[in-house]
Amino acid sequence: MYARIVSTGSYVPEQIVTNAEFAPRFGASVDDWLVNHIGIRERRFMAADQVTSDLAVAAGRIALARAGLEPAALDRIIVATDTPDYLSPATAAVVQAKLGARRAGVFDVNSACAGWVIALDLAAKIILTEPEEQAVLVIGAYGMSRFLDGNDKKTATLFADGAGAVVVGASPAPGWLATVTTAAGEYHDALGIYTGGTFRPATAENLTQSGPPVVQFLRPFPATFNVEQWPPLIEQLLARASARLGTRLHPDDVDCYYFTQVNLRAIEATMTALGQPLAKTHWIMDRYGYTGSACLPMALDDAIAQGQGPKPDSLVLFCASGGGISLAASLWQWP
């Protein structure tokens, strides 16, 4: 048996926040810069009564319905997020309860924005090594609006909320082919939410000194990091898949590329470096902002909804990076 992506689903909150809405706050328009340098025109923020698990459940329900599965059929639920409902327990446990998926084992993956690709890899290996388990729900969920400093132009205009999900199931036909991961851990203290854990507990004293837990850029990391790191990571992935398949794969052989949706210019530069046309990729940050661990499954689901998704037997490549800096890339054959 093989592990295959059976279905997709995504969810974005109703509240739309356009670039123009930041102008009064910052005393100047940010629209031209965001559109020209990042590719963002608007984003979605969740409602006051929503939490990360609500976004995850909404996306998960769609993926389950498209797979023709009831929640009770799930063997595992994996949630990739760095904006959990709680520090503990896992948000996946909340999702299990809200879905009514009582049989499912649960756990979270926190590798920042690379978490969903890593969770997807784990789901594949569960299917491959546990023959009794036939269906794994893999969700990327992001509620970063709860961790924004509204006066910080660098973060308030970038991050957003959303969720994307896939069902990974057992199949007699190939699906998962290979995954590679790496990290530049020396940047662990450059971007993140640094209050609330054991490093800086959310005590009254710390909250008075440092303020509430918010996402922060504390020191610079290379602006060209993704453009420099994504192509060699992809080459390593294709080499690993080639060794397993017994045939040499090249970037031209990949039919669909899905990247972390943090910067459209980085995606364009990466595709150029790989010698690939932009038509092979898909982006959503123009409408949904940066949705971290949720953005890759959201982009995949959006491409399918627009009739631009993978075709049967095509090769699909996911490439992600996030705070840490963690990186992951995974290659799949589409059903």
pLDDT digits (tens, 9 = 90+) for 108-127: 999 999 999 999 999 999 99
> Cβ distance 54 to 46 under 8 Å?
yes
CB under 8 Å to 30, separation ≥6 — which residues?
19, 22, 23, 153, 157
- Residue 202's CB is within 10 A of a number of other CB atoms, namely 13
Residue 210 confidence (pLDDT) above 90? no
Listed in sequence order, the residues at least 6 apart from 68 whose beta carbon sits closer than 8 Å to its beta carbon are none
Summarize pLDDT for 217-240 with one digit per residue, the tens.
Answer: 999 888 899 999 999 999 999 999
CATH of 2-172, one of 3.40.50.720, 3.40.47.10, 3.40.630.30, 3.40.30.10: 3.40.47.10
pLDDT in tens, 235-245: 999 999 999 99
Place of tokens 């800096």: 325
For residue 122, the Cα-to-chain-centroid distance in whole angstroms is 14
Token pair in block for residue 37: 């340098």
**CA pair distance 256, 315, nearest whole angstrom:** 7
Q: What is the distance between the alpha carbons of residues 21 and 230, in angstroms, rounded to a whole number?
A: 33
Distance CA 11, CA 83 (A): 16
CB 39, CB 89: distance < 8 Å: no
Digit-coded pLDDT (tens) for 301-313? 999 999 999 999 9
Angle between helices 52-67 and 91-99 (to 10 degrees): 50
pLDDT digits (tens, 9 = 90+) for 68-106: 999 999 999 999 999 999 999 999 999 999 999 999 999
d(CA 262, CA 296): 10
Residue pLDDT, tens place only, 22-73 = 999 999 999 999 999 999 999 999 999 999 999 999 999 999 999 999 999 9
Alpha-carbon distance 9 to 162, whole Å? Answer: 11
Every domain of the chain and the residues it spans: 2-172
Confidence of residue 1 (pLDDT cuts 50, 70, 90): confident
